[in-house]
Structure 1
Amino acid sequence: MPTLLHLDTSVFPGESSASRSVTATFRKEWEAQHPHGTVIYRDLAAEPVPHLDGLAVAAGFTAPDERTPELQAAFALRETLTSELEQADVVLISAPMYNFTIPSTLKAWLDHVFIMGRTAGGEQTTVSGTPTVVVASRGGGYGPGTPRESFEFVTNFLQKALGEALGLDVEFVVPELTLARSNPAMADLVEAADASKAKAHEEAAAKAKALAARFAA
């Protein structure tokens, strides 16, 4: 049975988070298609992984049979997180925009799973081609042609990091204007925000169904 790796990163819980609600829609559809499949779930906001330290970096550049006990211990979490990624048939990530870029918790996870000569640093990595859906929610509008287009450092960064460095097959679902109902200055954008939200849920369900069909028994 297929394995889904699901990472949530929003600091807000449940339906109060646009990105979590859309990843939940994806996962619900995925599990409907594969009720006996495996889901590896990490809530990086509730249980953040530590930032990479010098020993963990050094361990990544040391051959496994040459690591000292200290380096082995430092590499243990990196091995766990990387193995989870390598096991996944599909990856689902929530990546809300915080101050124009990804949550620091997601960056910390990325730093752990970037291992040169294994998941990164070659034309073919151990995770190359893995279908990956990123829910990149944002409070305002940052699409092409908008005044703040140049401030968007979520999808452009993750396309490079996930798609080009790790070799994952990345698709984005982007619910925009998520602050419209809570910010009076955005009152005239509520209708557009609701449309963007509905479209994001539809896209998430459709992508989950399509990807699940690839791994039909």
Structure 2
Amino acid sequence: MATLLHLDSSVFSGSASASRTVTDAFRTSWQEQHPGGTVIYRDLAAEPVPHITADAHLAGFTDPATHTPEQSAAFAARIGLIEELERADAVLIGAPMYNFAIPSTLKAWLDNVILMGRTAGVEASPVKGTPVTVVASRGGSYAPGTPRAGMDHVQNFLEAVLRDGLGLEVEFIVPELTMAPSNPAMSELIPLYEASREAALESAHAKAKELAARFAA
């Protein structure tokens, strides 16, 4: 059966998080199609992975026989995260926009799993071609033609890292205007927020079923 790697990074829990609401919808549909499958789940907000250190970084470029005890321990933690990614048939990432970019906890995970010569920089990378669905929620709108169109550093960054760097097959689901219900200045945008939310949930269900069917074939 197929394995899904599910990462959430919102600091909010449950329905208070727009990204978690949509990733939950995706995961539910996925598990309905793969009741006997495996889901590897990491809540990067509740249990952050270590930020990259000099020991963890340098160990990726040196002979393991020469590693110091500190390098060995730090590198072993990286390898554990990399192996989870390598085992995944599909990846689901909740990536809310914080201050125009991804949460630092998600960046820490990326820094750990990007390893030149294994997951990146090699034609035969075991993760190449793995489909990844990113739920990129955001409080306002950064769509083309909006005042902040050029300030979205979530999608462009993740495309560069996931698609260009790791060779993953990347698709985005973007629930936006998520601050409208709580910000009086955005109250007139609530209908647009609700429409965006419903479209995101529908896309999550559809994408999960599409991927599930692919791996069931």
1:12-45 per-position Cα deviation (integer Å, ceiling 9, x unaligned):
0001100000000000000000001000000000
Deviations 1:53-77 (A, max 9, x none): 0000011112345434432212011
Coordinate RMSD, CA, aligned? 1.1
Runs of at least 5 residues in structure 2 that lack an aligned partner in the other structure: none
Name the stretch that deviates more: 20-29 or 67-76: 67-76
Amino acid paired to 1:113 = V
Number of positions where the alignment pairs a residue of Structure 1 with one of Structure 2 = 217
Identity %: 65
Alpha-carbon distance between aligned partners in 2 of 1:126 and 1:215, rounded to the nearest angstrom: 17
Q: Does 1:84 align with 2:84?
A: yes
| Contact kept in structure 2, 1:56 and 1:74, CA below 8 Å | yes
Matched AA of 2:60: G
Matches within 5 A, 1:89-108: 89-108=89-108
2:34 corresponds to which residue?
34
Q: Distance in 1 between matches of 2:29 and 2:66?
A: 45
Distance in 2 of aligned mates of 1:18 and 1:70: 39
- Residue identity in the other structure for 2:133: V
1:65-84 to structure 2, matched below 5 A, reads 65-84=65-84
2:5 aligned partner: 5
Which residue of structure 1 lines up, in the alignment, with residue 150 of structure 2? 150
1:135 — aligned with what? 135
Whole-Å Cα distance in 2 between the matches of residues 70 and 110 of structure 1? 21
Q: Deviations over 1:67-102 (max 9, x none)?
A: 344322120110000000000000000000000000
Give the Cα separation in 1 of the matches to 2:30 and 2:67.
Answer: 39
Aligned to 1:121: 121
TM-score by length of 2: 0.97
Q: Is contact 1:124-1:167 (8 Å) kept?
A: no
